Amino acid sequence: MTDNNPTRCGYVAIVGRPNVGKSTLLNHILGQKLAITSRKPQTTRHNMLGIKTEGDVQAIYVDTPGMHKANDKALNRYMNRNASAALKDVDVVIFVVDRTRWTDEDQLVLERVQYVSGPVILAVNKTDRLEEKADLIPHLQWLQEQLPNAEVVPISAQQGHNLEALEGLIAKHLPENEHFFPEDQITDRSSRFLAAELVREKIMRQLGAELPYQITVEIEEFKQQGHVLHIHALILVERDGQKKIIIGDKGERIKRIGSDARKDMEVLFDAKVMLNLWVKVKGGWSDDERALRSLGYGDL
C-alpha cells in the first residue's frame, strides 16, 4: 500500500453471448495473448483467470464461455453452467455486447446479469466498425434502460480503444484487499492447458465451417529437455471423416496447424518448442459426461 492509495484486489467476470470479443478484450487488457480467439462461436469452453497487477491494483479477470441457447449436449450445458457460475462471488461484471446488434442470446445474458447485486459495466464492443456512428447514441440509451444501474462504455477490444477508461472504472469498483497473486503471475491455468488451447485455436481458425465443434485437445507429454520444450498433443474427434479433414491432403493441414501453434507456444513459454500432433477418433465424447470429466471439463 502506498501512502495515499489503498491496495485493491478483486474478481471481474467478463460475460456475453458467443463471439462478442470477450477473449480479445482479456488479451488486450493483459497486453499479451492468453485466451484463444477465433471467429467461430464457442471458441472459449472453460473459465480462465487473467491476472493484471498494476501498482496498487490487482484485477483478476474471469474469461467465460459465451452464454448460448443450445443446451442439447453435455459440452453445451457445461459451458453455460461455467459462464453462469462466474456471475456469483465476483466484485465486478463486464457485460460485453456487439455494437448495435442485439440477439436472443444477448437477452439471455441480460436476464442473468439483471440479478447481479454488484457493479455492472456494459462494454459496447467493436464501435470502431460502426458505419453510422449516429446509430450508437439511441442504442446506448436503450441499453441503459435495460440495465439502469450499469455504467455504459463504448470500446474496441481489437484496437484497444477506450480500454483505459474501462480499466479505470473497474479499479474504482474493486474492494480494498491485499493482492491474492504474485504480481508477475498472469493466469491460474497450467502451461499444459494453455498449450492444448493454442492447438485447438489453430484447428478452429483453419477449418472454418468444415468441422463441427466436436474436437478437443489433450496434452500427453510436456517436458523440458535442456533449452527445448517437448510437447505431444492428441487431437480427439468423433468421426473418421473429421480425422481426415484435420490431417488434410498428404498431411498438409496438420503440419500447418502444428507450425502455427508452435510459433505461439514459443512466444508464450519463451522457449524453443518441439511439437508433435496426433489425431484419434473417440466417438461421442462431447455428449459423454464421464469422457468430458476425464478430458478436464470439471464437474458437469
223 labeled binding residue: no
284 labeled binding residue: no
Nearest of 263, 242, 192 to residue 46 by alpha carbon:
192
243 labeled binding residue: no
Q: Contact at 8 Å (CB) between 45 and 36?
A: no
127 labeled binding residue: yes
63 labeled binding residue: yes
182 labeled binding residue: no
162 labeled binding residue: no
Q: How far apart are CA 300 and CA 295, in angstroms?
A: 12
Instruction: Name the grid cell of 198.
Output: 493454442
128 labeled binding residue: yes
Per the listing, cell 445474458 goes with: 109
287 labeled binding residue: no
Helix (H) or strand (E) holding 58: strand 57-63
240 labeled binding residue: no
71 labeled binding residue: no
17 labeled binding residue: yes
Rounded to the nearest 10°, the torsion over CA 39, 43, 44, 50 is -50
22 labeled binding residue: yes
125 labeled binding residue: yes
Cα angle vertex 295, ends 198, 268, to 5°? 20
66 labeled binding residue: yes
- Chain centre distance of CA 294: 21
10 labeled binding residue: no
5 labeled binding residue: no
Binding site feature residues: 16-23, 63-67, 125-128
Binding site feature residues for GTP: 16-23, 63-67, 125-128
